[in-house]
Chain A
Amino acid sequence: MTQRISKYQRFIMMNPIIQFFKFIFLSIKIMVIVAGGHGGTKSE
């Protein structure tokens, strides 16, 4: 096992308060990317 994720990074990743805001941010960002439309490619 090699520690590739530092203790500080792990704290950020697992802190419920920080992650709550991350959850909101990710939900919106993912929604924008996924529901942001799709289309064809053949007429380009």
Chain B
Amino acid sequence: MSKIVVLGAGISGHVAAAHLRRKLPKEHEVIVVSPNSNYQWVPSNIWVGIGRMKSKEIYFPLAPLYKKKGIGFKQAKVVTFHPEGDKDIAKPYVMVEYVTEERKGEKEKVTYDYLINATGPKLNFEATEGLIPGTNKTYSVCTYHHADEAWKALSELIQQMKQGKKAKIMIGTGHAKSTCQGAAFEYILNVEQELREHKVRENAEITWIANEHELGDFGIDGMLMSYGNMTMKSKEMVEMIFEDRGIKWIIEAGVNKIEDGKLHYETLDGEFKTETYDFAMLIPAFSGHGFKAYNKEGVDITDKLFKGFMIVDADYTPKPYEEWSVQDWPETYQNPSYPNIFAPGIAFAPPHPISKPRTSKNGTPISPSPPRTGMPSGITAKIVADNIIDTIKKGGDISLHHKGSMGNMGAACIASAGYGLTTGSGMSITTFPIVPDYHKYPDTQGRKLGKTFGSIGLAGHWLKLALHYAFLYKAKMKPFWWLIPE
């Protein structure tokens, strides 16, 4: 009998737990440890943030589902890792601390045969002074609570604008090293459309602010893509949309301080500037959770497991941008020191960014961190689950037959550009591979052109809506859920 412990119940952790439970006989134990009581479909937070969806439409409680499916669930947060056990326990374990009212603060050693660390990122709002969602007129859509707050503030502002108030809205990244530009991009287009729906667009100045070197970088070094009969850069596509919608932009900006209605940032040119605003939605920096790890003797071995995020089978040798290759990226998400520990999704430490790193004249790094959200999170979690399943079923050494590098993986990003069954819009973008392979595709900026394309229109909105329902159906593990790909 094997015991698999999954840390985290986000897209990655939930996908891994669901596949493990489906494919492994019941004598094997699958346990999920997560401080969150609900599963949330994060991509739809955008629509919660514009009041087009209620937050309860995008989440559901995990405990009843896990009970029904035979998955153990501990509503707790992991505190420390003990991959060799300790003097009292020979088996590896994680120390967890319960967060529920009844057991708050209670600690437990959860032993495992296999550990999947799918703890995702820490939303590091503290990295930017004054960037706390719900204060200083700044908001976030990273969680459904944040998105609810954002909509409350935005709807109040819309009411004031209906009385004639002129408003400045800023949306983008709230730190020089933020990632997940795509979420902010969706939100700015949705906000713009909502203001038009409420007939107050004329009263608003909307500005995109980001750490990208060019528009459309999205933390993946931009894209050259097929667009209809043309070949277009993602920069040109985003520029076309922003200009068409009257959205201004500030790029190469590292936001470093927020005050009430005031945003301070540094540019790559080394200038320090300030913008005022009435409403801002800024994506924070993502960071690791700062976990500690100890060996059998209680000696700190954190550097064997973590490098901010968890160390996996990537090549972490420092290299200049020109020498980066897809071979640097992990393909099994296995920790090299402890082969029974894996870290799919955002929890793994990337070998380096994907976009070219840039530093301001003052020495401040201002460029996007690499995204691993959404589709790659699900795919890498399934790869890890499949390898553990093979290992348990076949016995012997750990099987690493299933592989999936972000340098050999396609991803789709369906970016909402406005909500409405007949008035909505969306940008459907696919990219292959996610990490550009400049060696294999030297003439098309590292991407396969036919598989890297963009399309704008109502169909994109329908697609995003269809994915919302399909992925919630899948997450609820309803009949044949596993037929829906990650």
Q: A16-B422, A33-B432 are in contact. Are A40 and B404 (CB under 8 A)?
A: yes
Please give the residue numbers on chain B whose beta carbons come within 8 Å of chain A beta carbons, in ascending order.
240-241, 243-246, 326-327, 329, 331-332, 375, 379, 403-405, 407-412, 414, 422-423, 425, 428, 430, 432, 437, 451, 453, 455-460, 462-463, 466, 485
A33 touches B403 (CB 8 A): no
Q: Is the interface of B mostly helix, strand, loop or mixed?
A: mixed
Instruction: Give the shortest distance, in Å, between B459 (CB) and chain A (any CB).
Output: 4
B379 CB contacts on chain A under 8 angstroms: 38
A39 to B422, CA, bound (A): 39
B428 CB contacts on chain A under 8 angstroms: 26, 30
Instruction: Give the shortest distance, in Å, between A13 (CB) and chain B (any CB).
Output: 4
Q: Name which residue of chain A comes closest to B440, CB basis.
A: A44
Considering only residues 1-39 of chain A, those with a C-beta below 8 Å from chain B are 1-5, 12-16, 19-20, 22-23, 26-27, 29-31, 33-36, 38-39
Please give the residue numbers on chain A whose beta carbons come within 8 Å of chain B beta carbons, in ascending order.
1-5, 12-16, 19-20, 22-23, 26-27, 29-31, 33-36, 38-42, 44
Q: A22-B455, A27-B466, A34-B410 are in contact. Are A41 and B243 (CB under 8 A)?
A: no
Q: Name which residue of chain A comes closest to B376, CB basis.
A: A38
A29 to B244, CA, bound (A): 27
A13 to B454, CA, bound (A): 13
B457 touches A13 (CB 8 A): yes
A23 touches B463 (CB 8 A): yes
Q: A30-B430, A38-B409, A40-B404 are in contact. Are A4 and B243 (CB under 8 A)?
A: yes
B457 touches A1 (CB 8 A): no
A35 touches B485 (CB 8 A): yes
B430 CB contacts on chain A under 8 angstroms: 29-30, 33-34
Contact of B425 among A13, A31, A33, A36 (CB under 8 A): A13
